[in-house]
Amino acid sequence: MGAGKKKEKKKSRLLLPSLFQPRVLLQALRAIFSPPYTTKYPDEPYTPPPGFRGRVRFDAAACIGCGACVEVCPPKCIDMMDDTAASPPKRELIQHADACIWCGQCERYCPTGEGITLTSEFVEVGFRLEDFEERIEKELLLCEICGESLAPVDQLRWLVRELGPLAYANPTLMLTAGRDLSVVGEPVQTQGESVQRADRLRIQCPRCRRATALNA
Ligand code: SF4
Ligand code: SF4
């Protein structure tokens, strides 16, 4: 076959309509007899793949209210508020899903590992801002001397568990463990009174602990 004829045959193959090309026909036939790639959502529930980053949720039992997630959240979409006037005093954390970027930093740096999770929930529907809020409340412990916010009770309990016998080197942790064992009474506020040597064995913020240590 001459070079001219070969060129002509190649040209006619290229001009063949794509629908009649064997490769395209084969693909079309395969698509006709294959199951659909899409799901029948919402008639059939959809399960996202592992590692999917969906709606952020707190776990009331695992969260200790430490606020680490607030610190690491890049768009600052978790608010933390301490209400020392409430009875009992409380710390509230609010995560705003409408400002979340689903980066997963909160879950990654949560010290308990389970306090906050990016769930597989992917439906975000609501008519009010509150519909996009995830809230949690924790009882707050106050300094018995100055009345300032110290830490959530659950955070101190977690520290006692994590430190084991070492926790008894710190009077605040020792008293927290003692309260849970009912061998120590409830904290008593003595705001405004001058600190004494005996005050060293009380629940205190670091600033008051320093003051009582220096006074003793
Ligand atoms: S325990 Fe985890 S979820 Fe709770 S406040 Fe601390 S970092 Fe956030
Ligand atoms: S996933 Fe990222 S943006 Fe959303 S709350 Fe957690 S840290 Fe903040």
The enclosing domain of 78 has a CATH number of: 3.30.70.3270
> Which strand (E) or helix (H) includes residue 201?
none
Is residue 25 situated within a structural domain?
no
| CA of 69, closest atom in ligand 2 | 7
Residue 94's pLDDT is 98
pLDDT class of 37 with cuts at 50, 70, 90: confident
The residue nearest atom 6 of ligand 1, judged by CA position, is 66
Q: Which atom of ligand 1 is nearest to the CA of 67?
A: 5
User: Do 76 and 87 fall within a single domain?
Assistant: yes
What pLDDT score was predicted for residue 153? 95
Question: Domain check: are 209 and 180 in the same one?
Answer: yes
Domain match, 58 and 122 both: yes
Last residue of a domain, one of 106, 141, 176: 141
- What tens digit of pLDDT does each residue of 121-140 get? 998 889 999 999 999 999 99
Query: What is the arithmetic mean of pLDDT over 69-76?
Result: 98
Nearest CA, atom 8, ligand 2: 73
Nearest bound ligand to the CA of residue 113 = 1
56 with 136, same domain: the answer is yes
pLDDT exceeds 80 at position 49: yes
Averaged pLDDT, 56-82: 97
Whether the per-residue pLDDT at 119 is higher than 60: the answer is yes
Q: Give distance in angstroms: CA of 113 to centre of ligand 1.
A: 8
Range of the domain at 160: 143-216
At 106, which amino acid appears? C
6-20, 155-169, 181-195: range with lowest mean pLDDT: 6-20
- In the chain, the number of structural domains is 2
> Among 112, 141, 170, which residue terminates a domain?
141
Percentage of the chain exceeding pLDDT 70? 83
In a domain, 1, yes or no: no
Minimum-distance ligand 2 atom for the alpha carbon of 101? 3
| Cβ of 101 less than 6 Å from ligand 2 | yes
Residue 8 lies in a domain: no
Residue type, 158: W
Among all bound ligands, the one having the nearest atom to the CA of 111 is 1
Domain boundary (86, 113, 141) is at 141
**43-76 as b/e: b if 16+ CB within 10 A:** eeeeeeeeeebbbbebeeeebbbbbbbbeebeee
- Both 153 and 126 in a single domain? no
The pLDDT confidence band at residue 1, using thresholds 50, 70 and 90, is: very low
